[in-house]
Amino acid sequence: MRNLKTIKCEKGKSSTAWQKIKPTSKVIKNWILAVIASKFQSNTKIWFYKKIGLKIGKNVQIMPDQRIDIFFPELISVGDNSIIGQDCFFACHEFNVDEFKYGPIEIGENVLIGARCYILPGIKVGNNSLVGAGAVISKDVPENVIAFGNPIQFIDKTTKEKILLKSEKKK
């Protein structure tokens, strides 16, 4: 279950709801620093990302063209020894017709997020997991799994067996 906060809005007005909790000047500053950071190598990029609020552990590698949420970068954390692939998008918010939702993205330790993944708000990726390139991470990823696809699926790294979550077993 995704960890989200919701702000109810008038229909068609959700794209401005973030202004109720975040000053526009802060978002503009975050956007400028995020664009600059996306073009640098990992160490310089991490320095910029930390300046706008990301929590980044030790020995983290972030590949080029990473996209991070400019509204809520402080809700993103990446654990030690993790690798974020090229051209990933971390979205800590989503606009719906009559509501605005936002929540943290937590990447555990020793995690590999493959290139061009899209991570939705309120998601936790467990320690020692691998997420295949192009995956849409729409639900929490357990520890020690290989996650892939859209809709996302999981394979136990040890047994190589497919994992069904509790919500999937009931169907």
Three-class SS state of 21: coil
Q: State the Cα–Cα distance between residues 29 and 37, nearest whole angstrom.
A: 12
Contact indicator for 166, 154 with CB cutoff of 8 Å: no
- The Cα–Cα gap between 156 and 169 comes to 16
Going from the C-alpha of 130 to that of each of 8, 31, 111, 142, 169, the distances in angstroms are 35, 28, 6, 10, 23
Residues identified as active-site: 93
